[in-house]
């Protein structure tokens, strides 16, 4: 058992893991750029695929060599899952506060779940077993459970909290910790920080709207009121100046994708 733990910890500290993380971040950035493109298309009334993770993967799969690229994204997400799980198990030894250390480890575990879900969606898309449907079916099943309405409401609040945390991270530029010193300096560094700020805030707004939809579904006891990113962006579109707001969010999500590329180049972990 100790030998296995030592091996896992050595992998966590290995420079090869840095290369794996960079590959995963590039894949993650590509997905966000595709979502941004679909969101802008939605704003201009030209959307065919849903502006979501699954919609972006479906769109990519339809392009030349698309399925190969989707498989590469699946591999990239697997690499990010491995990183976050190793971080959960062995990360943050420099943090002296036990509460903060375990909070960071819990965050890493949550991110591993997010990357894993995206990776699984990529596998299903590459194998032709993907669905572009919404989340209302799953929400309906949860709603039918004892206390299901409260569970859906709690999920909505958790999603909103995560979205707000991204907005705060973007506004305070706390994401700078993801870039090495070179990535934060000079004109390039200023551009990276601007991309990160716009990207985190836009992504946080979109995720907060998703949480709001879950909360509304819980209050009204209508599962179809819940939804994923596509429905959240559609909700934004239906507001006053919706196309302008949606275009801004789409460009922000695209900025987050570009920031993933910058983070891959100037990785700090």
pLDDT band at 236; cut points 50, 70, 90 = confident
Joined together, the tokens standing for residue 124 give: 């299903």
Looking at residues 105-121, what average pLDDT do you find?
A: 91
Looking at residues 102-127, what average pLDDT do you find?
A: 90
Residue 3: pLDDT above 90? no
* Cα angle, residue 33 at apex, residues 28 and 34 outer, rounded to 5°: 100
Summary mean pLDDT of the chain: 85
pLDDT band at 92; cut points 50, 70, 90 = confident
Q: What b/e string do you get for 86-122 counting C-beta neighbours within 10 Å, with b at 16 or more?
A: bbbebbbeeeeeeeeeeebbeebeebbebbbebbebb
Looking at residues 57-69, what average pLDDT do you find?
A: 88
SS3 71: helix
Q: How far apart are CA 76 and CA 27, in angstroms?
A: 6
Residue 135 CA, chain-centre distance (Å), reads: 16
Phi-psi region of 240 (alpha: psi -120 to 50; beta: other; left: phi over 0): beta
Please give the pLDDT value at position 25.
Answer: 96
pTM of the model: 0.85
pLDDT tens column, 161-206: 999 999 999 999 999 988 998 989 888 899 999 999 999 999 999 9
């Amino acid at each position: 058992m100790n030998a296995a733990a030592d091996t896992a910890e050595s992998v966590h500290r290995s420079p090869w893991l840095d290369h794996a993380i960079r590959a995963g971040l590039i894949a993650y950035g590509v997905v966000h750029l595709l979502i941004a493109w679909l969101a802008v298309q939605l704003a201009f009334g030209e959307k065919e695929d849903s502006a979501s993770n699954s919609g972006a993967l479906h769109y990519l799969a339809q392009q030349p060599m698309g399925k190969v690229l989707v498989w590469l994204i699946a591999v990239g997400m697997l690499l990010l899952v491995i990183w976050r799980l190793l971080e959960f198990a062995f990360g943050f030894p420099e943090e002296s506060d036990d509460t903060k250390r375990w909070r960071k480890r819990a965050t890493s575990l949550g991110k591993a779940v997010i990357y894993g879900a995206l990776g699984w969606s990529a596998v299903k898309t590459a194998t032709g077993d993907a669905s572009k449907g919404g989340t209302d079916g799953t929400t309906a099943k949860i709603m039918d459970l004892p206390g299901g309405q409260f569970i859906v409401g709690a999920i909505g609040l958790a999603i909103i909290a995560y979205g707000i945390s991204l907005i705060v991270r973007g506004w305070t530029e706390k994401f700078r910790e993801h870039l090495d010193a070179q990535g934060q300096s000079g004109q390039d560094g200023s551009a990276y920080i601007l991309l990160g700020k716009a990207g985190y805030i836009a992504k946080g707004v979109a995720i907060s709207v998703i949480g709001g939809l879950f909360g509304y579904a819980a209050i009204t006891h209508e599962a179809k009121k819940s939804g994923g990113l596509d429905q959240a962006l559609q909700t934004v579109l239906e507001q006053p100046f919706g196309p302008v707001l949606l275009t801004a969010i789409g460009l922000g999500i695209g900025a987050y994708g570009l920031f993933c590329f910058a983070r891959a180049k100037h990785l700090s972990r």
